[in-house]
Copies of this chain bind each other. A is one copy, B any other.
């Protein structure tokens, strides 16, 4: 099958880039990975995403697509006959997947990041409680959406798995930083087992960054603020 010319501008450490890469793997699309250097922005990036100037950018036959969840939907639609469908097939299930994917970015991720930027122990404790509450919401969402199947969408990795699962590397890094288990086997058992399955999936495993390497990068990105 002809996929056209496919490039992805990204970085190994980015959750949002990983989303696009997992979607490309699921569809077995070969692509050129153009790594940005941390702290700089390439000419191609500035030209391809002049509005936000952010990775990832997928370039398909010279046409750029920006924003990770939009890229994942684009990959699903542009190569609809390649591999499994990433979005659920039913409109209602699609709406639910989109709802929770937006929740992951707008609510859960914001809370997760605030652990890394917390000033002092009190602020960190509050941020941890916030993440745990929001992870409980996601545990319930998993139970409802998956209906006993291994992934949010059913039998294979789909849109919401990608949206949340791409955070798993950073999730561990934040756990280490906070010295606190955030994805708890007892409190959120379904999500805990889902995370193991997700990380071990052959389309995901080669992309999941090593925790130690990512933790080192995190120290550069989020230098410890003075308490």
Q: Which residues of A contact B (CB under 8 A)?
A: 51, 60, 63, 65-67, 70-71, 73-74, 77-78, 91-92, 94-95, 98-99, 102-103, 137
Question: Which residues of chain B are near A70, meaning CB under 8 Å?
Answer: 95, 98-99, 102
- Docked Cα-Cα span, A103 to B56, in Å, equals 16
Please state if B103 and A91 are interface contacts (CB–CB under 8 Å): no
What copy number does this chain have within its complex? 2
Please state if B67 and A91 are interface contacts (CB–CB under 8 Å): no
Question: Which residues of chain B are near A67, meaning CB under 8 Å?
Answer: 98-99, 102
- Docked Cα-Cα span, A73 to B98, in Å, equals 10
Please state if B63 and A92 are interface contacts (CB–CB under 8 Å): yes
- Docked Cα-Cα span, A132 to B74, in Å, equals 30
**Chain B nearest Cβ from A162, distance in angstroms:** 16
- Docked Cα-Cα span, A92 to B61, in Å, equals 11
Can you name 27 A-B pairs with beta carbons within 8 Å? Answer: A51-B103, A51-B137, A60-B92, A63-B92, A65-B92, A65-B95, A65-B99, A66-B99, A67-B98, A67-B99, A67-B102, A70-B95, A70-B98, A70-B99, A70-B102, A71-B95, A73-B94, A73-B95, A73-B98, A74-B91, A74-B92, A74-B94, A74-B95, A77-B91, A77-B94, A78-B91, A78-B92
